Amino acid sequence: MAIKFGRPIEMRDAPRRQTTLAANPLDLAIRPRRNRKAEWARRLVRENMLTTDDLIWPLFVVDGHNARTPVASMPGVDRLTVDQAVRDAERAAKLNIPCIALFPYTEPSLRDETGSEALNPNNLVCQSVRAIKKEFPEIGVLCDVALDPFTSHGHDGLIEDGKILNDETVAVLVQQALVQAEAGCDVIAPSDMMDGRVGAIREALDEAGYLDVQIMAYAAKYASAFYGPFRDAIGSAKTLTGDKRTYQMDSANSDEALREVELDIAEGADMVMVKPGMPYLDVVRRVKETFSMPTFVYQVSGEYAMIAAAAGNGWLDGDRAMMESLLGFKRAGADGILTYFAPKAAERLRNGE
């Protein structure tokens, strides 16, 4: 038999057997299955790859000492006291995860109409940034900018007569970003979807001398049902009145996502993000192709919860579903992924799985 496959090493690895011909073989010149016949062949033609460098790990922080409290709707995810957040930062550093993201559970007594705790230079987020940066200065720390963890009504902005105010909110977000930059945050990530906040924050950061602090804009963020477990985790699920559809995007739209992203880039965003992830892969693709910017995607709490819950019930192979979903983001064109699976995925990647 003629050698069709070239290099002899392939013969050693996978000796070919004479195939018994079917009674009526199809006359096919092209058989796509040839490239899938063995693991080495699949590896050779593989188009996309997930690496640990693609991962950002979101952590929830809570007041207290030496405690980890499970988030019921996110099996495997805990709220961490600051000392424990430092331990998870260490885990991230050891796994070579480039960046972590911080979200606070604010005590209800500290929440008010205007979210004033967001501007407390000693709030949980700022304490965590300082503690983590002190022990692990080499790991990137990203901080969300939005008021929802701090407001009594659970909205991302200031409210007047039931309306979310844009420009007044932006003025507060600018102060919040400065407080976080002062604490040592590396990446400011405005997640509020107010108009004009990226430009205002960039200008204020530059004026204050934080020229190197990056901005990752939640540029195309949709009003989504998939944020449910996150709102449990930060304790805004019960207090949130109404929905966020006057500022977060309508899930029916993707041209609008391009206009949003374009504005944030023009205002100075260093990186842009699409959120949620799995139901919006088309948006990730369009954004990446249109702007060639570092493009991130957030696999949000509800996406995590779906996979974790189904895996917990034995309905699907959780690890495989996790890796498949993350690879899907890469295939769509994402440069990086915020995901609660980050440490688990990094462990698998480290073990060559």
* Positions marked catalytic: 221, 275
Pick one of 54, 78, 117, 156: the residue that binds ligand PBG (CB under 6 A).
156
Contact window for ligand PBG (CB under 6 A) among 16-24, 35-43, 143-151, 316-324: 143-151
What does 260 bind: Mg ion, ligand PBG, none (CB cut-off 5 to 8 Å by kind)?
Answer: Mg ion
Given the complex with ligand PBG, which of 3 and 225 has the nearer CB atom? 225
Put residue 14 in one of left, alpha, beta given phi > 0 → left and psi -120 to 50 → alpha: beta
Q: By C-beta, is 50 or 273 nearer to Mg ion?
A: 273
| CB 5, CB 11: distance < 8 Å | yes
Listed in sequence order, the DSSP H helices in 75-213 are 82-95, 124-135, 167-183, 197-207
**Whether 334 contacts 284, CB under 8 Å:** yes
Binding to Mg ion by CB under 5 A, coded x per residue (else -) over 248-287, reads ------------x---------------------------
Distance CA 250, CA 221 (A): 9
Mention every residue, 6+ apart, whose C-beta is less than 8 A from residue 179. Answer: 118, 119, 120, 121, 123, 126
Q: Select from 73, 114, 191, 339 the one that contacts ligand PBG (CB under 6 A).
A: 191
Binding partner of residue 267 among Mg ion, ligand PBG, none, CB cut-off 5 to 8 Å per kind: none
Structural element, H or E, at residue 283? helix 281-291
Least separation in angstroms between CB 328 and ligand PBG: 17
From the CB of 195, what's the least distance to Mg ion, in Å?
Answer: 6
Binding residue per annotation — 256?
A: no
Sites for ligand PBG among residues 192-231 (CB under 6 A): 192, 227, 230-231
CB 4 within 8 A of CB 34: no
- Residue of 102, 98, 88, 94 lying closest to 54 (CA atoms): 98
Nearer to ligand PBG (CB atom), residue 41 or residue 278: 278
Beta bridge partners of 99: 56, 140
Assess 192 for contact with Mg ion (CB under 5 A): no
186 binds, among ligand PBG, Mg ion, none (CB under 5 to 8 A by kind): none
Binder among 213, 217, 300, 342 for ligand PBG (CB under 6 A): 300
Cα–Cα distance, 168 to 159 (Å, whole number): 9
CB of 219 closer than 8 Å to CB of 195: no
Site residues for ligand PBG, 222-281, by CB under 6 A, read 227, 230-231, 244
Longest dimension (CA), the chain: 82
Q: Which residues sit in the known binding site for Mg(2+)?
A: 260
Binding-site ranges for ligand PBG (CB under 6 A)? 144, 146, 148, 156, 191-192, 227, 230-231, 244, 300-301
Binding-site ranges for Mg ion (CB under 5 A)? 260
